[in-house]
């Protein structure tokens, strides 16, 4: 494992520990406000992750179309160059 990966893992670990210490009063949620915060956070994350595959497929389809257009344009340009010689 590279040194950069180890540093990144250590940094994430420290961040999680800091956030855990700061949010320890919210978990487990003992009041209505804590429940609302956690429901909002996990609901937002779930909403984002639910549509991510569709968005990725759209981006991939657009990129494939762009690549095919570029290949076609380049092949037409090279065939014109072959005719001149």
The answer, yes or no, to whether residue 82 has pLDDT greater than 70, is no
The answer, yes or no, to whether residue 1 has pLDDT greater than 70, is no
Task: Report the predicted TM-score, pTM, of the whole model to 2 decimal places.
Answer: 0.44
Give the contacts of 38 (CB within 8 A, at least 6 positions apart): 26, 27, 29
Per-residue pLDDT tens for 12-63? 777 777 777 666 665 666 677 778 888 899 999 988 888 888 899 999 999 9
Decide: 34 and 26 in contact? Cβ < 8 Å. Answer: yes
pLDDT of residue 73: 92
59-84 as b/e: b if 16+ CB within 10 A: eeeeeeeeeeeeeeeeeeeeeeeeee
Query: Which one has a higher pLDDT value, 8 or 25?
Result: 8
- Count of all residues that appear for the chain in the document: 85
- Break the chain down into helix, strand, coil percent, rounded to 5: 85, 0, 15
The residue written with tokens 């978990």 in the block is: 27
Banded pLDDT at 70 (limits 50, 70, 90): very high
pLDDT of residue 80: 67
């Amino acid at each position: 494992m590279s040194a950069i990966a180890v540093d990144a893992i250590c940094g994430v670990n420290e961040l999680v520990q800091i956030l855990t210490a700061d949010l320890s009063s919210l978990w487990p949620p003992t009041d209505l406000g804590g429940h609302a915060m956690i429901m909002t956070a996990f609901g937002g994350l779930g909403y984002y992750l639910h549509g991510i595959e569709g968005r990725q497929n759209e981006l991939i389809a657009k990129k494939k179309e762009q690549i095919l257009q570029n290949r076609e344009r380049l092949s037409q340009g090279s065939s014109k160059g072959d005719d001149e010689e």
